[in-house]
Structures are given as C-alpha cells and as structure tokens.
Amino acid sequence: MLDCLPAESEAGTDTAALTLHTARPETLAALRATLGAAQAAWLEATGFTARLGQLALLPGEAGGLAGAVLGLGGDGEPTSPWPFGALPFALPERSLWRLGTGDHDAAAAVLGWGLGAYRYRRFKGTGGGGAESAADQAPPSSDRAPARLLAPAGTESAVAAAAAAWRVRDLINTPPNHLGPAELAEAVRALAAEHPGATCRIVEGAELAEGFPLIATVGAGSARPPCVAILEWQGSADGPLIALCGKGVCFDSGGLDLKPSAAMLRMKKDMGGAAVLIGVADLVMRARLPVRLMLLIGAVENAVSGTAMRPLDVVRSRKGLTVEIGNTDAEGRLVLCDLLTLAGERRPDVVLDCATLTGAARVALGPDLPALFSNDDALAEMLLAAGRKAHDPLWRLPLHSGYDSWMDSAVADVSSVGSKPMAGAITAALFLQRFVPPGVRWAHLDLYAWNDSSRPGRPEGGEAQAMRAIHAAISALAEQHGQPDR
C-alpha cells in the first residue's frame, strides 16, 4: 500500500535488505554477543548505550553498510511506534531494511516507520499544478526519499493504519484553494469506490437547504456551495450501526466575526474532523468489521460576503429547534448538529463526531490530547482504553449540565454560544448534545488535527489524531455486540 513499506513476501526484496536490530540497555550485551567481533567492538567504541532513539550503523566486514541498531531505552513501551518514526530519514536514502532481533513489536515498528516516512509533496517540483497525492507521487530530486522497511507477515493492519494516516494528512495539508467542499465530498465518493458494497450520495442545492438548513446557512457566504456526503456500508447485516459525523469546514475565515489574520494561518485544517473520520471509515471497511457504517461529512466554507450569516440571525435546524447565531466563528457546531440529527433519525447503536471545534479544548489540554465528551461512561472508557493501547491518547472532559443554561436565548430555542467566557469546550459539547436523541450512545471528540512541529513519526502539518483510537474502539464495539450476553 505504501512504497516505504513493501511486503516482506514480495519476490526478490528480502535478499537485498539490511538488518535492523533493536536493543535496550539491559539487552545490549546479549545483542553484541550475536554480532561479529568487529561490529560489537564498533558499538562499544562509538559509545552506543541503546538509549531511546539512539541509532548506530554497523559496518560490513568488507566495507560498506551491514545493518543498524536502534536503541529503545530502558523504560520504553514495547508497543510504541514512535522510536521507529525517525528512521525513514535517518537511514540511507532508499535503503531497504528488515527487522532483526530485539525487544520490539513488529506491528509497532511498521506503523512508526510508515508514519515517519510521510511528507506532503504534492506541490513540490510540479510547477504548482500536480494532482497526485503524497502517497502516489515520486519525491522530487531536491527532496530526500525515505528508507524502506519490509513489512513482515502479520503486520498488514499496521500498514493499513499508516496508509489511512497518509490519506488523512494529505486531506488536511491540501491548500484550501485546492480542497473546497466539492473536493472534500469527492474524497468521500472516492473512498466508497475503493470498497465493495459502499455507496456514497452527495446532498447539495435545494435538497441541502431543506434537509440541512444550518449547514446551508454556514456556507451561504461562500462562492463554493456547501454539501453533505453520506457514505453507507455493511460489514454485517445485523451488526451494530455506527454513525460517524465529521466537521468538514474547508476554510474558516470566522465569517463576519472575522478571525485575526494570524488565526487564519492554519484554518485549512478546520476540516480535520472530517478527514479523521474518512480515515476511520477506510480502516473499518478495509478490516471488514462486522458493523453497519454510516459516514456523514458536512463539507462547507465559512466565508465573508453579503450573503454570509450574521450574528443574531435565527435559523431553524433539521431537528426543528431554532438556533440564534451568537458568533459566526462558532460555525462547526452548526455543521455537526444537522449531521447528528440525521444520524439520530436512523437510531444508531453509537454516534461519534469529530471536529476541530474549540480553542478552549486546546487551552485545557494542549495540542496532543483530543477532548472527549460522552453521554455514556462505558463508551467513554472504551474509547480511552483504545487510545491508550493504540498510543493515540484522548482525555475526557465533563458534560456538566450546570452550564447548559448558559446557552439560553431570549429569541430562539438555543444560542449557538455560551453567555460566559469560560468552559467553551464544555458548552460546545452541551450544545451538540441537544441534537442527540435520548438513549443514543454518543461521543464527541474536539481535536487539533495538527502537529505544530516535527517529532519522530509526527511530521509538522496535518495529523490523523484519534483515528487509530476510534477504529480500535469500533472493533471492540463490534466484538461486544456479538457476545451472547449483550
């Protein structure tokens, strides 16, 4: 699926591969004993201590390169992908490697390698007009190509996760003039075409205005019309129905409540929630999980014009509740609430929504921890546990009902923003909860979907944050649904 992760079974590849060993300080002596005398002496002479992330290249007996050793540290987590994330660009360009001996998890190594090999190159060396994705385009000669790792049998799910992350990152990193609502909806259509049995319908125009009035209102100021993409797929006729609702604001100017220019610099990522759920849907269908899947993407641009929504406008939602627009820059929740209403009409077993929704969540938790809200403790714990296991962490914040009255409106059923300058992530989640039918299990993830700077396995730019956690939780839900005592 990715050139940086050829399958180990591919003919003629493993004979040319160099061996990558791993070691911890307590296992280093044992590793040295398995190497040739010259290589063991080289490790000792160069001061290799197997600290986390330390890399040593091993010389061949007749010169050249024979292999490498990666340090995993004394207290590193065996299933963490991050120690392997720097290797694609730390090892010689285009070199081919296979995993050797060591205290590592093969799937984690493959995942970390795949995540670390990503670079967004669509507009590098193409004259600005390239249409290829980063996953498909050969890197330009001015850029360094990554080293490759043979993916052993049994690590196919790790390769799939890396490929899905590349898809998500590509979507988020695409400049907003190249990814508007139509292009985002087309990405959903293209995903459906990849998976047998999946269907995709695009709602737009008069049908959108009638069925998704708040989404139409958010997009009214843009020359690029809004739309809703609806993907449906069945991995099992009687499996649980999982509804995924993604905020797909392809660029957010703030509308008439205009953002400062500095705050717009990353607003191409405001469709990050939609991108993450596209990645989740890809993984669910690729794994053929025994679930019924519905993916709802609200694709829209929040722009400024004479037709843009205004503060204090009142709009009727799909659910029938009237909403007073408290701030045009709080548009993401308006997109989600119409999607949540449609999802609720189908009486799903679980509804999950993802959005780059509030700066308040980032102030509380920083960029690395998506804020999780849920009306069901068991569902919340399932997501948290899945995130811990997948090294894709989440952090739960409360749906504190005491703040619900902060969204009271004198002229409508509800205001879109809270009346107090506090707890913005909580009040946004409470607003969304009003559009979830009673008795439906629901979780809301307020995420950042971006890396501010590069770290091993996490290059600067768009990030598939929470994707692996959500996929793992859906897998657990599917397994739980099939148990006799459910």
Residues with a catalytic annotation lie at 259, 333
Contacts of 451 (CB under 8 A, 6+ apart): 367, 458, 459, 460, 461, 462, 463
Q: Is 102 left (phi over 0), alpha (psi -120 to 50) or beta?
A: left
Whole-number Å distance between alpha carbons of 261 and 247: 22
- Residue 300 and residue 218 in contact, taking contact as beta carbons nearer than 8 Å: yes
Q: How many CB atoms lie within 10 A of CB 311?
A: 16
Q: What angle in degrees, to the nearest 10, is found between the helix axes of 156-173 and 272-286? A: 160
- Answer positive or negative: Cα dihedral of 417, 423, 429, 430: negative
- Using only the alpha carbons of the chain, give its radius of gyration: 24
Which residue type occupies 406? W
Whole-number Å distance between alpha carbons of 324 and 313: 6
Question: Tokens 């009003």 sit at which residue?
Answer: 434
Whole-number Å distance between alpha carbons of 270 and 251: 6
Q: How many CB atoms lie within 10 A of CB 286?
A: 18
Whole-number Å distance between alpha carbons of 89 and 86: 6
Under DSSP, the state recorded for 76 is: -
- Both tokens of 32, joined, read 């040295």
- Residue 463 and residue 354 in contact, taking contact as beta carbons nearer than 8 Å: no
Pairing state of beta strands 18-23 and 96-99? parallel
> Kind and range of the H or E element at 173?
helix 156-173
- Answer positive or negative: Cα dihedral of 71, 76, 79, 85: negative
Whole-number Å distance between alpha carbons of 340 and 330: 17
